[in-house]
Amino acid sequence: MIWTYKGEPVETISDEYIGFVYLITNTTNGKKYIGKKLAKFKVTRPPLKGKTRKRHGYKESDWQEYWGSSDKLKEDIAHIGKDKFTREILFFCTSKAELGYIEAKLQFEHKVLETDEYYNGIIDVRVGGSKALLESLQRHNNGTL
């Protein structure tokens, strides 16, 4: 199953985005899961021969094959099959702070811990405020976050 964004399939993610907030839905019973996924990881490599500075870059994650971190969700996927689930990207994010904030905001808004309609069993968030976070949230709010 492929990821979709606004009804369109997603095969690549622009370099401007570090990750996305997503919704996985079980089409047999309507149960959902809200989460976040990094599209790329920062990697540190040893310095080149004769140099002292470490090299930094990015490596693409396993986002195309990712199915969430909930054990119950993974059990249902294994039991009834991936074809019974949809994977939808809700928001693309440019920073980890934005990613964590939007995921937690959606989880609280949808009361994922207060109902059996969601696979989510925990809301784990640690977000610090910054000028970049405020700017990206304003951008999202203009696009109806």
Residue 61 is assigned to a structural domain of this protein: no
Please indicate, yes or no, if residue 50 is contained in any of the structural domains.
no
CA distances from 35 to 56, 70, 114 (A): 27, 9, 16
Residue 55 lies in a domain: no
Residue 49 lies in a domain: no
Whether 58 is in a domain gets the answer: no
Q: CATH number of the domain that 10 lies in?
A: 3.40.1440.10
Residue 127: inside a domain, yes or no?
Answer: yes
Q: Is residue 136 part of a domain?
A: yes
**DSSP string spanning 82-116?**
GGGEEEEEEEEESSHHHHHHHHHHHHHHTTTTSST
The residue segments making up the domain with residue 70 are 3-39+66-142
Per-residue pLDDT in tens (0 to 9) along the chain, 145 residues: 799 999 999 999 998 999 999 999 999 999 999 999 999 888 899 999 999 999 988 888 999 999 999 999 999 999 999 999 999 999 999 888 889 999 999 999 999 999 999 999 999 887 777 777 777 777 777 655 5
- Considering the entire predicted model, what is its pTM? 0.84
15: in domain? yes
| Number of domains forming the structure of the chain | 1
Residue type, 22: Y
